[in-house]
């Protein structure tokens, strides 16, 4: 069997990935690459990471059989990898923890991050508090307004939250601003990118830290079910939770399905289905699929879930799509909300709206399969942060 | 011989340094660009760097970001920018024009289509901020096929090995970013610039321009004593931003002329070590 070994030494996944940044950032990225290469195979570092994941994050997260919902759907069995049970309520902390430990080893006293929905910002603020590091979070002013609770959480944890007023004032602009901070303060600052995008080594490094999800799943599936699932399903914004689940399975032949945000529908201009509707280009340090106009300007995206509302996607997903190893499909706001309510109703679990996209596709696929099939869905986060969005969508004022 | 090397040849003969103003194409509005370019030349610009507006200008500070946003409100595309250069060329066949921007508009147009059109419109050089040399092999080949100069950035943190790599690819001039950070930053350490340029000259045979942090006649003059060219961007954009439309040309002219006079007053001494004593 062919062994998957991407990216290459310059961070390329086929034609995607790479290092597309201004000269002023090159040496910082080179330093990061060298340091990460060193600690990637350092038993002491990996031991510390594993210890923190177990005792602070609360891993391993269980695989839960959503029996009632599966029975209701009348098809395949839906299994949930419960990343929502992590400390801070999402998979984001796996990566924030890994990068914070690396920052400490590199002697950086200040961490910065971009955030959209606020989950990565909260995870970063959390690990910064845990290690006594200064923390600055960049967040588009539109997101600051619609995610007020997470802004307060970050502040409680001691982070400074800087609203970004440029561009569309959302996640992509927060990323631009964090890059500007990094290039200015690179001597003492570590930039904790929250997803598998950005210049090399970020897509690889974030994947490696998130791959704990898939590695646990392989063991748990064998222990609990005596076999591996028939398909893996995860939502894709930047794509970190999906790659975390998929990566350890890449050398198998198990189906992998990434679920993008189709917003009001991929036939409209109100979606964030980058791999379905985008074209390859260069943004935020890497070559990947992008939602852009005919002149190469990045256009505003839409999704009910702020965490999927991003015009790019991790370069490894771009490669997995082109190579045919993974499939990518879109789920609309409405379909995601329906799955959200179904999981609340049948299983007593309130999922994040991001994860609800994966759940919605799992429900479709399950209905078309026989009950002996197993679908493993990455339940990447819990939905407490989405209360006001869901209430609003249901025309309820809290 | 290209317009850029002709220009630097002439400047060298006259022991003068180049003044390179940067403006964003389409700011304050598309219709003013060609008159503004001519105004820059009349005020003493040697080369015009024309920014291609982009939705996500990651390496730029707030001033140039806002400038890009104003241009994009007018939906100025890369195609439009090329048309502006073409129109400028109808009445100025000697002033080099260098496009500066980000990768994605070029990716969207395609390398071959872009370089062919750029050549036809009279573009002399292109600097794509987020194409470092490692990702530029095919890109540089395309530019060179059309005799367009690939211009690259060097920074205070660029190690020697990369300087050599840039030296092997770059044509026209190289653009030394004089400080860490984004465009429009405030602090410029002239002593540091002098030392770095001394180091660069042993690898780089083409002219070296210095930009980032040049805000007035005094810094322009000091940089002109060290470098072959002085690049001024954010300060000019600020002038455009704060001027009523009817006064943009006059105000920009006044500013650029003052920079020209300051640069021409720079000491013609040739060794950076000597110049350091003035700092």
pLDDT score at A398: 83
Asked if the A12-54+92-206 domain carries CATH number 3.40.50.970, the reply is no
Question: Which among A176, A297, A299 has CB closest to B58?
Answer: A176
* Residue predicted with more confidence, B184 or B169: B169
Average of per-residue pLDDT across B25-32: 97
Q: Is the pLDDT of residue B277 over 50?
A: no
Residue A380 annotated as catalytic = yes
- Local confidence band at B46 (pLDDT 50, 70, 90 cut-offs): very high
Strands B18-24 vs A255-263: parallel, antiparallel or unpaired = unpaired
Q: Is the pLDDT of residue B200 over 90?
A: yes
Q: Is the pLDDT of residue B62 over 50?
A: yes
pLDDT score at A363: 98
* Max Cα–Cα distance, chain B, nearest Å: 50
- Output the pTM of the full model: 0.95
Q: Is the pLDDT of residue B271 over 50?
A: no
User: ipTM, 2 decimals?
Assistant: 0.94
User: If DSSP codes are grouped into helix, strand and coil, which group holds residue B49?
Assistant: strand
* Max Cα–Cα distance, chain A, nearest Å: 57
Count of Cβ atoms closer than 10 Å to residue B104 Cβ: 26
What percentage of chain B exceeds 70 in pLDDT?
93
* Residue predicted with more confidence, B21 or B178: B21
pLDDT score at A3: 83
How many whole angstroms separate alpha carbon A103 and alpha carbon A31? 12
Q: Is the pLDDT of residue B276 over 50?
A: no
Q: Report the catalytic residues of B.
A: 49, 60
What does pLDDT average to over chain B?
93
Q: Is the pLDDT of residue B165 over 50?
A: yes
pLDDT score at B275: 41
Interface contact flag, A166 B69, Cβ < 8 Å = yes
What percentage of chain B exceeds 90 in pLDDT?
85
Q: Which residue numbers in chain A have pLDDT < 70?
A: 1-2
What are A331-383's pLDDT values in tens digits? 999 999 999 999 999 999 999 999 999 999 999 999 999 999 999 999 999 99
Average of per-residue pLDDT across B210-235: 94
pLDDT score at A167: 86
Asked if the A59-89+211-393 domain carries CATH number 3.40.50.1100, the reply is yes
pLDDT score at B190: 84
pLDDT score at B273: 39
What are A153-182's pLDDT values in tens digits? 999 999 999 999 988 898 999 999 999 999
Question: Can you read off the two tokens belonging to residue A45?
Answer: 């570092």
User: If DSSP codes are grouped into helix, strand and coil, which group holds residue B38?
Assistant: helix
Chain A residue numbers with beta carbons less than 8 Å from the beta carbon of B77 are 295, 297
Domains A12-54+92-206 and A59-89+211-393 share a fold: yes
Report the candidate in A126, A138, A141, A29 with the shortest Cα–Cα distance to residue A86.
A126
Average of per-residue pLDDT across B11-23: 97
Interface contact flag, B181 A10, Cβ < 8 Å = no
Interface contact flag, B105 A295, Cβ < 8 Å = yes
Interface contact flag, A295 B56, Cβ < 8 Å = no
- Local confidence band at B186 (pLDDT 50, 70, 90 cut-offs): low
pLDDT score at A162: 98
Q: Of A92, A172, A321, A385, which is the active-site residue?
A: A92
The residue to which tokens 């329906």 are assigned: A338
Suggest the residue from A8, A9, A10, A23 to mutate for an interface test with chain B (most B CBs closer than 10 A). A23
Q: Which residues contact A37 (CB under 8 A, 6 or more apart)?
A: A201
Domain ranges of chain A: 12-54+92-206, 59-89+211-393
Check which CATH number belongs to the domain holding B139 and give it: 3.20.20.70
Average of per-residue pLDDT across B204-223: 93
Q: What range defines the domain where residue B173 resides?
A: 3-276
Q: Is the pLDDT of residue B157 over 80?
A: yes
- Local confidence band at B83 (pLDDT 50, 70, 90 cut-offs): very high
The residue to which tokens 């679920």 are assigned: A259
How many whole angstroms separate alpha carbon B255 and alpha carbon B216? 9
How many whole angstroms separate alpha carbon A189 and alpha carbon A95? 17
The number of domains in chain B is: 1
Count of CA atoms in the C-beta half-sphere (13 A) of B3: 17
Q: What ranges in B49-136 are assigned the alpha helix state H?
A: 62-73, 78-91, 103-109, 111-121
User: Which stretch of B164-168, B212-216, B256-260 has the lowest confidence by average pLDDT?
Assistant: B212-216
Q: Which residue numbers of A have CB closer than 8 Å to B's CBs?
A: 10, 18-24, 26-28, 166-167, 172-173, 176, 179-180, 183-184, 186, 279-285, 287, 290, 292, 294-299
């Amino acid at each position: 069997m062919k062994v998957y070994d991407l990216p290459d030494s310059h961070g390329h996944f086929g034609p995607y990935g790479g290092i597309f940044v201004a000269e002023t950032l090159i040496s910082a990225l080179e330093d990061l690459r060298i340091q990460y290469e060193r600690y990637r195979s350092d038993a002491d570092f990996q031991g510390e990471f594993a210890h923190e994941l177990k005792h602070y994050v609360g891993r391993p997260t269980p695989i839960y059989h959503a029996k009632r919902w599966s029975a209701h759907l009348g098809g395949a069995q839906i299994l949930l990898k419960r990343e929502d049970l992590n400390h801070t309520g999402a998979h984001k902390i796996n990566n924030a923890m890994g990068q914070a430990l690396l920052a400490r080893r590199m002697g950086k006293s200040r961490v910065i991050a971009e955030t959209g929905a606020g989950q990565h910002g909260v995870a970063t603020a959390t690990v910064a508090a845990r290690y006594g590091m200064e923390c600055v979070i960049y967040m588009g002013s539109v997101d600051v307004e619609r995610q007020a609770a997470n802004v307060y959480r970050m502040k409680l944890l001691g982070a400074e939250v800087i609203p970004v007023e440029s561009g569309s004032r959302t996640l992509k602009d927060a990323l631009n601003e964090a890059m500007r901070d990094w290039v200015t303060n690179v001597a003492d600052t570590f930039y904790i990118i929250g997803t598998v995008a950005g210049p090399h080594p970020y897509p690889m490094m974030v994947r490696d830290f998130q791959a704990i999800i898939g590695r646990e799943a392989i063991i748990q599936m064998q222990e609990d079910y005596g076999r591996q699932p028939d398909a893996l399903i995860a939502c894709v914004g930047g794509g970190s939770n999906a790659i975390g689940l998929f990566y350890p399975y890449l050398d198998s032949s198990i189906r992998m399905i990434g679920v993008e945000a189709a917003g009001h529908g991929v036939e409209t201009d109100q979606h964030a289905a980058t791999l379905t509707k985008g074209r390859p280009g260069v943004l935020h340090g890497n070559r990947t699929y992008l939602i852009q106009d005919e002149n190469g300007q990045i256009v505003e995206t839409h999704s009910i879930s702020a965490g999927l509302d991003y015009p790019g996607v991790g370069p490894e997903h771009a490669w997995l799509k082109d190579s045919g190893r993974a499939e990518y499909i879109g789920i609309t706001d409405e379909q995601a909300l329906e799955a959200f309510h179904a999981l609340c109703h049948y299983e007593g679990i309130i999922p994040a709206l991001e994860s609800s996209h994966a759940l919605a596709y799992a429900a479709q696929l399950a209905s078309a399969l026989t009950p002996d099939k197993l679908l493993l869905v990455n339940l990447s986060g819990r939905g407490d942060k989405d209360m006001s969005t869901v209430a609003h969508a249901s025309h309820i004022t809290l | 011989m290209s317009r850029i090397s002709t220009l630097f040849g002439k400047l060298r003969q006259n022991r003068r340094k180049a003044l390179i103003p940067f403006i964003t194409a389409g700011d304050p509005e598309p219709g003013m660009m060609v008159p503004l370019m001519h105004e820059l030349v009349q005020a003493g610009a040697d080369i015009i760097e024309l920014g291609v507006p982009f939705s996500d200008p990651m390496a730029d500070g707030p001033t140039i970001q806002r400038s890009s946003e104003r241009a994009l409100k007018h939906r100025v595309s890369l195609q439009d920018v090329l048309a502006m250069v073409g129109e400028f060329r109808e009445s100025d066949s000697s002033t080099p024009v260098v496009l500066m921007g980000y990768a994605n508009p070029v990716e969207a147009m395609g390398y071959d289509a872009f370089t062919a059109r750029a050549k036809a419109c009279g573009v002399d050089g292109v600097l794509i901020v987020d194409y470092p040399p490692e990702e530029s092999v095919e890109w540089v080949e395309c530019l060179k096929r059309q005799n367009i100069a690939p211009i690259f950035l060097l920074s205070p943190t660029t190690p020697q090995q990369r300087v050599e790599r840039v030296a092997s690819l770059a044509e026209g001039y190289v653009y030394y970013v004089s400080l860490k950070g984004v465009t429009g930053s405030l602090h410029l350490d002239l002593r540091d610039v002098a030392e770095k340029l001394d180091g660069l000259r042993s690898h780089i045979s083409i002219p070296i321009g210095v930009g980032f942090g040049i805000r007035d006649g005094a810094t322009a003059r000091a940089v002109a004593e060290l470098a072959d060219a002085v690049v001024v961007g954010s300060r000019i954009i600020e002038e455009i931003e704060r001027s009523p439309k009817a006064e943009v040309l006059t105000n920009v002219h006044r500013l650029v002329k003052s920079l020209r006079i300051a640069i021409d007053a720079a000491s013609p001494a040739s060794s950076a070590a000597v110049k350091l004593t003035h700092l």
